[in-house]
Structure 1
Amino acid sequence: MPGIGWLLALLLALALGGCGTLPPAPPRPASTMLAPDLTSPLTRIAIASTPADDQSGVRLLPHGGYSLEARLQLAQRATRSLDVQYYVLENDGTGRLLLTALRDAAARGVRVRLLVDDLYTSRTDELLRGLAAFPNVEVRLFNPFCCARNRGTAARFAVALWDFSRLNHRMHNKLFIADGSMAIAGGRNIADEYFLRHTSQNFVDMDAFVVGAVVRDLGAIFDRYWNSEVVYPIEAVGPTRRDAAQARAAFDAAMAVGPPAPPLDLPPVDVLGYGPIGEEFESGRIGLVWGKARAFADPPEKVRSMTREMAYETSVTNDVMMNVWRAEDELVITSPYLIPGSLGMQSFENLRRANVKVTVVTNSLAATDEPLVHNGYARYRGRLLATGVDLYELSPTRTQKTVRLGMFGSSLGRLHAKTAVVDKKRVFIGSMNLDPRSANANTELGMFIDSPALAKELLRVVSISRLEGAYRVRLHPGSSRLEWLTLDEDREIVLGVEPESSWWLRLHNMLLGWFVPEQLL
């Protein structure tokens, strides 16, 4: 989620100026997801587990360790293809684990297509070029920067000042497809903090492992992005300093000398009672929740030649909102960044008039990794409460004690899950935040699944987050003053200021908030 770093990058660009431009994308043959084949063990397991052709099987992945294990299992067991798409793929222990798994899959003859947004690739550019040099691997970049490839995000913006309107649009999608028959989609990027492996901060997040009919939709989405004119082969962007053999050798050397990735530390079962998915692969069948599912994504061309109105009309945000605002009884939402805007507030008010119970879980000021975005949310907080929204804000210290969500140790807990449950029977899981960037600037990906059983599981996870790891926010009776409620050994505590935040953070955020337009948040 870009925030203050983007603003600083823009200021630096204005100070330094720039003239770099990106040439048109070179021609390359179109490529599509390989059809499932019975020679693939993953395909055979998917078929054996599927009750009907129009059904999709889903397993929620609330635990970071289980979610990483699922991805690695897919990479290690794939025999035909891996199609991988991420906003962030970091050069850390988790990123190197995945990159190594992709290299090893390619060595077995698996076709690997890796698509990464170019915003944060300054630390991984050479690794991605090295991976692309291996047989059976293609690496492409979404909406790439032209220059300053290894100098950091601010420098990249600085040398491409006149291209800022294009570069402000990013691909926020997260998708992992193996052998055209199994996939993982949701909120997690590829970095330590999304899988409970970071020493100072870790995210409470949600992915879904899926098989069945929806995988075809996800494959079509990936293909549309992969073949888009806004996606470039990495070899066509910036100078190539090594030939293929040298690039492969440099990649192998980097994988060998980098800090070792910590081992996966998995509990016997996760909060929903599921064990590691690799154990079920060995048995030949997977326990899943079944229902009708639909996958959808913003058009990749959202970054070019689209008015703001057209971008919103074709957006995941609009698709999701058109569904959640139709709730008839209950709506439960988790979103780390929440800026409803005037249309969103009108919709919340309409739900209140229809007597729909609305629960929202988001980050507190102390938990958010984007304080300025929290400032945008805070402008609406009183109005949300006045409409009757049951509002919860994640507490970093309470999350540390909530072992059912994972072992956070001494690290801060932050919310990153983007989910919704409509009327206890329809579930949304995806990459979309409830903010202007998701609606107008970033591309997003999501799924709706019609399944009361899955809704029950997701509500259980959300309930743990809000009851054990969050503050309940309310208006002080008879006034517009905010209060934060929590329990300490069954004793209710009422706080009158943003909990767990310093006075300096509150002042700093308030002052900067005056100068940041809401549409940039």
Structure 2
Amino acid sequence: MGWCKTSLWPLFHRVLAGAFALSLAGCATLSVEQRDEAAGIARAARSSQVDCTRADACALASPLRALGKQAIAASTPSAPRHVALILDDAPDALLVRIHLIRSAQRSIDLQTYIFDEDDSAQLVLDELQAAAFRGVKVRVLIDQLAALREVETLAGLTAMHANFELRVYNPVLDRARLALPMYAVAAGCCWRQLNSRMHNKLLLVDGEVGITGGRNYQDDYYDWGAGYNFRDRDLLVAGPVGADMAANFEAFWSSRRSVPAEQLGDVARLLRKQGAPPPPHAPYRKPERVRALLAMVDDEAAIRARFVDPAMPVRGVQFIADLPVKHWQGRPAEANAAAEAASIGLRTLIAGARDEVLLQTPYLVLSKPAQHLFRELHRREDAPRVRISTNSLASTDAFIAYAISHKYKRRYLRDFGFEIHEFKPFPADAPFEPGALGADLPVFEATAAPAPSSAASKPRPSLRERRLAERGLRKDPDSEAGRFRALGSGGMPMRLKQAGMRMGLHAKSMVVDGKVGVVGTHNFDPRGDTYNTESAVVIEDPAFAARLSASIQRDMAPGNAWTIGRRDSSPILPGVEYTLARVSERMPIFDLWPIKYATSYEFVPGPDCPSPPSPFDPRFRACHTPVGNSPEVDIGLKWLGVRVFTAFGSGLSPIL
């Protein structure tokens, strides 16, 4: 199979890799006959039963699908028509997925990076299984590194139904799942392959309506996380662009890097040893929440109110997406444009900006081409305004990426002209749904008066704290639920001074000149440029751009974000301090100067400050107060980690 080819690393790396491989049997493979036997076991176990004989596969009648069909019917090759809907509300993003799956008549193509085995992911698997039994062709393409926890789950899915196919993209070491020790083996023998990941996300139904954006299949992308949830964004689009989405999915599906799960060593061994396991279904952690969501799936009034009425007709729709050829080493130069379509397309949009670039990314770590682009943009006499929405240290799930970003704050402000707004872990006003469909939240006694014995010892909550509590986002010092996030997508947020349900930014979006809106999977980072395959929908429509801009600016509002600005200069030799900081920043390692150029600020409204001025406005300091480099964070020993990665970690930028 060739999954364990070594590269020309130094000798000690090869020796280390060989030792791991021998001790852990990391590169042991099955024969062709053994794989064929396993595939035969899976095929024999697959049901061919179809529960519906109707031509439409007993699909759910959907007013949302009807809207998309109208757009397609009204389209011509020279004048395509589309409808689009921004999915900001997380439970709605799950609800509409289930609704669309039930509305499928012919095909469902699902492509994702993370596919967990928690409530939201299990619900989607259940619905995909039901669709297959209705007669719908279901194809699921998952990336190896972050999809499905158990080999038994993959084996059960491969043997479930003749209408259900599962493939794993770019598997390393001939496995569908890598146990933690095997990552060391993979890093030693197959570093480039290990890092070459499929980051695309797509749900395409009948080739007509698609959803793409930041969300994976895991509870914390749908406000179902127990202690940490993502502020994310998807885009639903229906119309002729579905054909482009289908073609891109087909390119990945038919790639030699997409391997049927039953042909991989660990899945094949299980099938040969134990036979085909039953279709996977774990008990729901919160079944009442699942029931509440399912009760709305076929509620036409609810579907119209949540998805049909807010959908808008749009023009200028384009789907830009990388191809698997991006992961071919030594590819011909003429293939670069197709391989890196997402990165090239996004940089082209930014380069053409005249007035403003509004950019939202969870990880503000820029590739070399992106840095060059923004530097040249800022040098223009008529340089556009560049506003950035990103994570703070308190909200991020990737503190290493934040540490690298912190290293370059001076460059971002002075050389690129960035106005940076960092998302708070307890935002006062963000799309978040408590209640029957939402997250696990403590009950807040809004009208309860404090007991007399505690009135003197407990200060009255501030207006902001009361608003947070009313939305279920209160900071609860007695709760451990929000202190740490379970490992899922590979990250863990910092410990905060107070616990509670926290949020972290995961949306990847952009608005250029108030005319072009972009929603996709690209983090505008080196990984997206070099290692990951990415995709995005670009819509050149001012009305759509205005709606997307309002959504991003909501996340940048003072109640939801801190603003990054230049810290006050030292009264003693400020020029020397600045020079030392700049010299230290330029060091690829040993960036040890402790005083950084920028810090976080909180907006303080007042008669002279009705709205927050830009950090480059002379009034900025009069309207803001500094709150330190890491507000809300109980940094403890993690301070050492942040400092280490700030000082020595710039070499990791390409893989962050």
Q: TM-score range by the shorter chain?
A: 0.7 to 0.9
Aligned to 2:445: none
Query: Aligned in 2, Cα 1:307/1:503: closer, same or farther, shift over 3 Å?
Result: farther
Q: Kindly provide the amino acid, as one letter, of the partner of residue 364 in structure 1.
A: S
Decide which structure has the larger Cα Rg and report it: 2
For the 8 Å contact 1:14–1:161, the answer to whether it is kept is yes
Distance 1:247 1:236 in 2: 14
The residue aligned with 2:75 is 52
Match of 2:551 in 1: 461
1:279 aligns with 2:297: no
The residue correspondences of 1:311-330 to structure 2 (distance < 5 A) are 314-315=339-340, 316-330=342-356
2:502 paired with 1:476: no
Query: Higher relative CO (CA 8 A, sep ≥ 6), structure 1 or 2?
Result: 1
**Aligned positions, number:** 492
How much has 1:77 moved relative to structure 2? 1.7
Question: Could you tell me whether the CA contact under 8 Å between 2:362 and 2:390 is conserved in 1?
Answer: yes
CA distance change for structure 1 residues 347 and 164 in 2, over 3 Å: closer, same or farther? closer
Q: How far apart are the structure 1 equivalents of 2:129 and 2:605?
A: 50
Asked if the contact 2:357–2:387 (Cα under 8 Å) also holds between the matched residues in 1, the reply is: yes
User: Does the alignment pair 1:114 with 2:114?
Assistant: no
Determine the structure 1 residue equivalent to 2:168.
Answer: 141
1:303 to 316, 327, 346: 327
1:139-193 Cα deviation digits (max 9, x unpaired): 0010013356556244255267322321221100000011111110011110001
Given that 1:363 and 1:394 are in contact with CA atoms closer than 8 Å, whether structure 2 keeps it comes out as yes
Q: Distance in 1 between matches of 2:513 and 2:423?
A: 23
Aligned partner (choices 199, 210, 228) of residue 226 of structure 2: 199
Mean CA deviation greater in 321-330 or 418-427: 321-330
Match runs of 1:75-474 below 5 Å: 75-121=101-147, 123-133=149-159, 134-147=161-174, 149=176, 152-158=179-185, 161-238=188-265, 239-242=268-271, 247=276, 249=278, 251=279, 254-255=280-281, 257-261=283-287, 263=289, 279-280=303-304, 287-306=311-330, 314-315=339-340, 316-352=342-378, 353=380, 354-386=382-414, 387-397=416-426, 399=427, 401-407=428-434, 409=473, 410-467=500-557, 468-474=559-565
Structure 1 residue matching 2:281: 3-state secondary structure: helix
- Mapped to 1, the partners of 2:244 and 2:208 lie a distance apart of 11
Write the distance in 2 (CA, Å) between the matches of 1:310 and 1:381.
36
Q: Distance in 2 between matches of 1:148 and 1:413?
A: 33
Paired with 1:489 and 1:380, the residues of 2 have a C-alpha distance of 29
**1-structure distance, mates of 2:264, 2:193:** 16
- 1:269 corresponds in structure 2 to none
Amino acid at match of 1:455: A
C-alpha distance in 1 between matches for 2:18 and 2:307: 61
Deviation at 1:16, TM superposition (A): 5.0
Residue 69 of structure 2 aligns with an amino acid whose one-letter code is: I
Q: SS where residue 537 of structure 2 aligns?
A: strand
**SS across alignment from 2:270:** coil
Q: Which runs of 5+ in 1 are unaligned?
A: 1-9, 29-36, 267-274
What TM-score, normalized by structure 2, do the two folds share? 0.68
Name the residue aligned to 2:488: none
What is the Cα deviation at residue 488 of structure 1?
6.5
Asked if 1:510 corresponds to 2:643, the answer is yes
Distance 1:282 1:62, change over 3 A: closer
Deviation string, structure 1 residues 402-454 (Cα, Å, up to 9, x no partner): 25444463322111000000010101111011211111111111111111111
Corresponding letter in the other structure for 2:639: R
Amino acid of the residue matched to residue 471 of structure 1?
Answer: W
Identity %: 26
Amino acid at match of 1:95: A
Work out the CA distance in 1 between the residues paired with 2:194 and 2:301. Answer: 38
Q: Please say if 1:17 is aligned against 2:20.
A: yes
Cα 1:240–1:288, aligned 2, differ >3 Å: closer, same or farther? Answer: farther
Deviations 1:337-395 (A, max 9, x none): 12224432332233222320110111111211111111221222111111422111111
Give the 3-state SS of the residue equivalent to 2:550 in structure 1: helix
Q: Which amino acid aligns with 2:172?
A: F
Q: Post-superposition shift, 1:47?
A: 1.9
Partner amino acid, structure 1, of 2:261 = I
Give unpaired runs (5+ residues) of structure 2. Answer: 1-12, 40-54, 294-298, 435-471, 474-499, 579-596, 607-622
- CA drift of 1:48 comes to 2.2
TM-score normalized with structure 1 length: 0.85
Question: CA separation of 1:443/1:151 partners in 2, compared to 1, >3 Å: closer, same or farther?
Answer: closer
Give 3-state SS (helix, strand or coil) of 2:563's partner: strand
Contact 2:114 2:143 in 1 (8 A): yes
Structure 2 CA distance, aligned partners of 1:68 and 1:120?
19
Question: How far apart are residue 470 of structure 1 and its match?
Answer: 0.8
Deviations 1:81-124 (A, max 9, x none): 10000000001111101111100110111100000001124614
Q: Deviations over 1:255-300 (max 9, x none)?
A: 153534552678xxxxxxxx99962299998832311211121111
Residues 388/72 of structure 1: CA separation in 2 closer, same or farther (3 Å cut): same
Structure-1 separation of matches of 2:112 and 2:309:
28
